[in-house]
Amino acid sequence: MQNSLILASGSPRRRELLSLMGITYQICPADVDEHMNGAPDEVVMALSRRKALAVAERHSGCTVLGADTLVACRGEIMGKPQDQQDAMRMLMLLSGGENNVYTGVTVIDGKTGRVDTRCDQTRVHFVPITPEAAQRYIDSGEPMDKAGAYGAQGMGGMFVSAIEGSPSNVIGLPIHLVRQMLMEIGWQL
């Protein structure tokens, strides 16, 4: 019998993806400092681990899933935009090029306490974006809570010309990796 799963995130996108897997879970967003420097893969793994550990402290015996997603483009790491001007800057940087989406995933086994942290990377290609199109997108409000100022699963998908790798990773949770990690600790999926 598997124990309860706690999702250490308030992200509606992560909740949707986890629900698609048919997993029953509880939500307990982690309140941790998310400021960190380093290589994108190292940052997302460290932050996913930080989130999972913070929640695991409050939920002994439960399996905890933490995740963090960043976008990297032309040497810049992009989290969520600070304001509309920052969103415009990000979208113009992404325009006509490619970016890499990194998601760190941490699973803490509620039975053994084992902590497993991994990273998934997906390359996303963008069409050229005019400043006018970017502003209309920003005015929709969609990019304001998304790493890299775009949501490939929503209106932002109109800027994406190709995805190399996991589409669910671009949305915020690589479900193939989550499945593998949970199965390795005995979950039946």
- 60-79 burial, b at 16+ Cβ within 10 Å, e below that, comes to eebbbbbbbbbbbbeeebbb
Catalytic residues, which ones?
Answer: 68
Contacts of 93 (CB under 8 A, 6+ apart): 73, 74, 76, 78
Q: Which two tokens stand for residue 163?
A: 């995805």
C-alpha to C-alpha distance for 187 and 189, rounded to whole angstroms: 6
